Structure 1
Amino acid sequence: MASARFPGGKSVDVAANWTAPAPGRPVCVNGTPWILYLLEECVDNVWEYCSVVIGLVSMFCFLLSTLPQVYEAYRNGKVEEAMSFGFLFFLFSGDLTSFAGCYLTSQLPIQLVTVVFYIFTDLILISQFLYYKIKNSSSRKSPVLKWLCFAWCGAATLVLLALPKLIVENNATLDPKSPSTSNSVEVTGYVCGYLASIFYLSSRFPQLYKNFQRQSTEGTSYLLFALAMMGNGTYGFSVIVVLPALKGSKRTFIIKHLAWLIGSLGVLILDFFVTAQFIMYRKNCSAKSSKLLGVPEVEPLLREEVELSML
């Protein structure tokens, strides 16, 4: 299964009769057709089927997770005050290392396209952060900055559309199963997996500190973290649920996917702390709003009294 936000290793390596329909290789007879076509996996039992479906739900959650924050930043225009640049930097670094592991270990095309989309959304968030930081720090509006932002987003969109095709074509020419490259590719994949997990875990601490420092979560979208929690939770579950269907050693399987499990479940735990901050600081936000609403009710009355006394 495509390993969602933590790619670099196929999660389900359990079916002995998996193949692509190629000469000299067995054919997946009892597998689910749509999974075989979409993910090139031979799924012939209920445990593997549940793992694939849960994994797709995880991927869908991650695909949508950054979009609410993009909208929230566009709506309030104060993303540099609300978001920590360390959070964005480590998130981007984690996706880059995930992409490296996915590419070097010749993962499925759907994994490559998904990771490219993650990198694209990270770049949009970083671009928004820098755009509003420059804009809000300047005393006058600069039309050049606006057009540069549009040009950057357009160029990134073109790369998003073209890169997956080029990657898949180049990836098809590699043979990670050849004796000369299998060991080095496997080691590289594991290294990238652990690095990605470290980056993802590190991304939450700057944002937790930023929220604590401000005593507020205003300007950040909770859907970003809620969807990430759903994605990480369902990803970990998709790996664990396949254990009863394993034909080999369960211990070896867990060790193979330990890096991505640490990353996903570790980030899930940290996002519970972010959730607690949203709950605690919501009271501060509501109290601040009530004070602001109370001020205009008093000032006009005072002004009217001064005007009447002058008459």
Structure 2
Amino acid sequence: MFPALNLDFNLQALSGVAGSISIACWLIVYTPQILQNFRRRSADGLSLTFLFAWLLGDLFNILGAVIQGVLPTMIILAAYYTIADIILLGQCLYYRKYGEHDDEEDSDLEYEYEIDEEYEEEDDHGHPYHEHPVSASHLLDLKTSSTTIPVSVTWPLWKSILSNLLCMLSVILAGIIGFLLSPHNFHQPSDRPDKIIFSPLGQTFGYLCAFLYLASRIPQILLNYRRQSCEGISILFFLFAGVGNATYVLSILADTWEGDQNYGRYVAVNASWLLGSVGTLLLDVGIFAQFWWYRENDEGEVEGENRRLLERQDERRRNYV
């Protein structure tokens, strides 16, 4: 039913496991951010320059991978990244134009409708009047039962860390299981091509891709710094990207055999992809530091927003009573 497992773990096995984990991370990397944008009906935490640069980097990644003749899996993944980039970018552009404004208007209209249903009817002359006297307890019931504006909830720090850690471990485990269940989980030296082709055009696209990946993080870091906040950004988005880059680099560097004379040329061919992954990983460390540094500001922003929403609700209730 399942392929036999070769337990002779070596560098090739390490390369395969790391590559499988990297694929699992990159398949899921966009999902946390897309879901967070959907829940918030906003994408104000993401830099559009960051997303556009990342999209261009993925496009050059496809061109470089095709011309350089890398593994078909890498080409398919590069195409998948591009499609996911377009979805995330489209979502952000939509919410920048429609999300917050429409959400506030819909909440206002829904709130006014509920107040009208609760308190007002028209008499024979079309004038509104209260059918029953309004008691303080009735107002308290309304306050607790008819709230239509969503209120954000913050988790304790340890719960957030534990939740993110469990998500990350689940994806890593899925990558390992996928590798173990694959029919050819350990490559043999004979599987490697005798001659490694060095394409100048493919390398040009590869280095352009690396430059764009590195440049993409800078606008996001600057945006976080100006806002003094990482509110609206999913930390899992960058965690999956970080682990995906780290395991991708490991899968390339470990893909060798002792005494292989082509290893230096093999690393040179993949140098642009290594540069992009390592550099991006280092910049992501800076974003993780911002998450930690600005965490108190983000908690204060959520509490302040909740307070403003509740004050706005109280004011509307007083106007209708």
Q: Same fold (TM over 0.5)?
A: yes
Aligned: 1:46 with 2:2 = no
- Measured in 1, the distance between the counterparts of 2:276 and 2:47 equals 20
Equivalent of 1:194, from 207, 219, 223? Answer: 207
Instruction: Please report how far the alpha carbon of residue 201 of structure 1 lies from its aligned counterpart in structure 2 after TM superposition.
Output: 0.3
Runs of 5+ unmatched residues, structure 2: 105-192
How far apart are 1:225 and its partner, in Å?
Answer: 0.4
Match of 2:226 in 1: 213
Q: Which amino acid aligns with 2:212?
A: F
RCO greater where, 1 or 2, for CA within 8 Å and sep 6 or more?
Answer: 2
Change (3 A) 1:78 1:46: same
2:32 aligned with 1:68, yes or no? yes
Which of 23, 29, 54 is the aligned partner of 1:59?
23
Alpha-carbon RMSD: 3.3
Counterpart AA for 1:78: S
Q: Deviations over 1:261-289 (max 9, x none)?
A: 11111100000000011111111122233
Using the TM superposition, give the Cα deviation of residue 133 of structure 1 relative to its aligned residue in structure 2, in angstroms: 1.5
> Separation in 1 of the partners of 2:16 and 2:289?
31
In structure 2, relative to structure 1, the CA distance for the partners of 1:293 and 1:112 (3 Å cut) is: closer
Alignment of 1:160-239 (within 5 A): 186-239=199-252
Spell out the pairing of 1:147-158 with structure 2 (5 A cutoff): none
The aligned residue for residue 288 of structure 1 is 301
The DSSP-based 3-state class of the residue aligned with 2:291 is helix
Whichever residue aligns with residue 261 of structure 2, its letter is G
Deviation at 1:222, TM superposition (A): 0.8
Give the drift of 1:109. 2.9
For the pair shown, which has the larger CA radius of gyration, 1 or 2?
2
| CA apart distance, 1:290 | 3.9
Are residues 189 and 294 of structure 1, via their aligned partners in 2, closer, same or farther at CA, if it must alter by over 3 Å?
A: closer
Q: Sort the Cα spacing of 1:256 and 1:139 in 2 relative to 1 into closer, same or farther, 3 A.
A: closer
Q: Does 2:62 align with 1:109? A: no
Equivalent residues of 1:48, 1:245 under 8 A apart: no
The partner residue of 1:262 within 251, 268, 275 is 275
2 CA distance for matches of 1:293 and 1:134?
A: 23
* Structure 1 residue 78 corresponds to structure 2 residue 72: no
What are the ranges of 5 or more consecutive residues in structure 1 without an aligned counterpart?
A: 1-32, 36-43, 142-176
SS at match of 1:245: coil
Assess if the C-alpha contact under 8 Å between 1:45 and 1:245 holds in 2.
no
- Would the alpha carbon gap of residues 282 and 70 (structure 1) be closer, same or farther in structure 2, given more than 3 Å must change? same
List per-residue Cα deviations over 1:222-277 (Å, max 9, x = no partner): 11100000011111112222355351154333322221111111100000000011
Whether 1:278 aligns to 2:242 is no
Q: 1:128 aligns with which of 87, 91, 98?
A: 91
Q: 1:139 to 1:268 in 2, by over 3 A?
A: closer
CA contact (8 A) 2:65 2:206 kept: no
- 1:242 aligned residue: 255
Identity across aligned pairs (percent)? 32
Q: SS of 1:212's equivalent? A: helix
User: Structure 1 residues 187, 61: closer, same or farther in 2, change over 3 A?
Assistant: same
Per the TM alignment, residue 111 of structure 1 is displaced from its structure 2 partner at its CA by: 2.2
Give the direction of change, closer, same or farther, for the CA distance of 1:252–1:287 in structure 2 (3 Å limit): same
Closer/same/farther in 2, CA of residues 281 and 135 from structure 1, 3 Å limit:
same
Contact 2:211–2:276 under 8 Å retained in 1: yes
* Residue deviations 1:111-138 (CA, integer Å, cap 9, x gap): 2221111011000011011111221486
Task: Specify whether residues 214 and 100 from structure 1 end up closer, same or farther in structure 2 by C-alpha distance, changes over 3 A only.
Answer: same
CA distance in 2, matches of 1:114, 1:51: 17
SS, match of residue 82 in structure 1: coil
